[in-house]
Amino acid sequence: MAKRIQFSRHGGPEVLEYVDYEPAQPGPNEVRVRNRAIGVNFIDNYYRDGLYAPPSLPSGLGTEGAGEIEAVGAGVTHLKVGERVAYATGPLGSYSELHVLPAANVVRLPESIGFEQAAAVILKGLTVQYLLRQTYPVKRGDIVLFHAAAGGVGSIACQWARSLGAKLIGVVGSAQKAEQAKALGAWATIDRTREDIRQRVLELTGGAKCPVAYDSVGKDTWEISLDCVAPRGLMVSFGNSSGAVSGVNLGILAQKGSLYVTRPTLGSYANSAENLQTMADELFEMIASGAITLDVARRVALSDAARAQTELAAGRTTGSTVLLPD
């Protein structure tokens, strides 16, 4: 038997249950990982509250973790028992002591990266990799807009953008978070609680606006972000922390300068074991070089996962939170 977090109905953090369960044996092309640290991400809230539908209920939660291979299924030849690994993509169930998942979703973890570091960075870091290196390949001198710049993803984006020679304008929710984003490499910050985002972007860019805006907030900032994108620029909507964007009128894109819009996901970029490992290797190299440093701001017991999600949803966190098996 092992312990895990599960939920049997949708709702707030109070629906999370800490239960005993019987871990499955890995099937063909699967591995079982003994988690040493588990990542906490906003997308976990979406599955819990029903914005995204899990395959069935009761359901496990979480998609990110790091640990050691405990068992391998038939057909797995590139991973072996005892190997240090990390993972960032499904199936749900990483909020657990043991997790079974496809071997193709697992990457080898260098000795230089600790389990807590890996669990804190693998999903967020891979997200930044595809955003800045693939969705819109950021170039030296680009002025880009990035929402939630002091959060888990934003903290990495500030550093990665700086290493590329880009100028990242970070939108944050407080003066304290503005200071943190600047310390991490943001070229400029906008405190949305007391500054007009549109006006500040015009001032910072000399009226030119940004070639790309990265927006993880969703409904509340959708049109604001569009107004910050230069003609024929790209709007990247990659999250829904304020709710999903819906009822989009494509005519708005024409009115605001023939804009492009994309709604990317990690799975569409890390769509093979080879692509996933290549992306992870670039992330690990950035960490090893010192270009990206990690802030594991909170360590919470797995049994207390509801508290971690409450803090994240309320916007009271900076950096990354990890769960540690009890």
Q: Is 276 left (phi over 0), alpha (psi -120 to 50) or beta?
A: alpha
Under 8 Å between Cβ of 275 and 130: no
132: β partners: none
Peptide bond into 28 cis (omega under 30): no
User: What was the pLDDT predicted at 319?
Assistant: 66
191: β partners: 172
In terms of Cα–Cα distance, which of 78, 16, 14 is closest to 4?
16
Under 8 Å between Cβ of 106 and 32: no
Q: Spell out the alpha helix ranges (H) of 52-130.
A: 115-130
User: What was the pLDDT predicted at 318?
Assistant: 65
Distance, in Å, from the CA atom of 200 to the CA atom of 190, rounded to the nearest integer, reads 7
Domains and CATH numbers, the chain: 2-121+269-324 (3.90.180.10), 140-263 (3.40.50.720)
Distance, in Å, from the CA atom of 298 to the CA atom of 288, rounded to the nearest integer, reads 22
User: What was the pLDDT predicted at 42?
Assistant: 83
18: β partners: 5
Biggest alpha carbon–alpha carbon distance for the chain: 61
User: What was the pLDDT predicted at 315?
Assistant: 72
List average pLDDT for each run of 10 residues in the chain, which is 326 residues long: 95 95 95 97 90 91 96 95 93 96 95 93 95 98 96 93 98 95 97 97 98 94 96 95 84 96 95 94 94 87 93 75 92
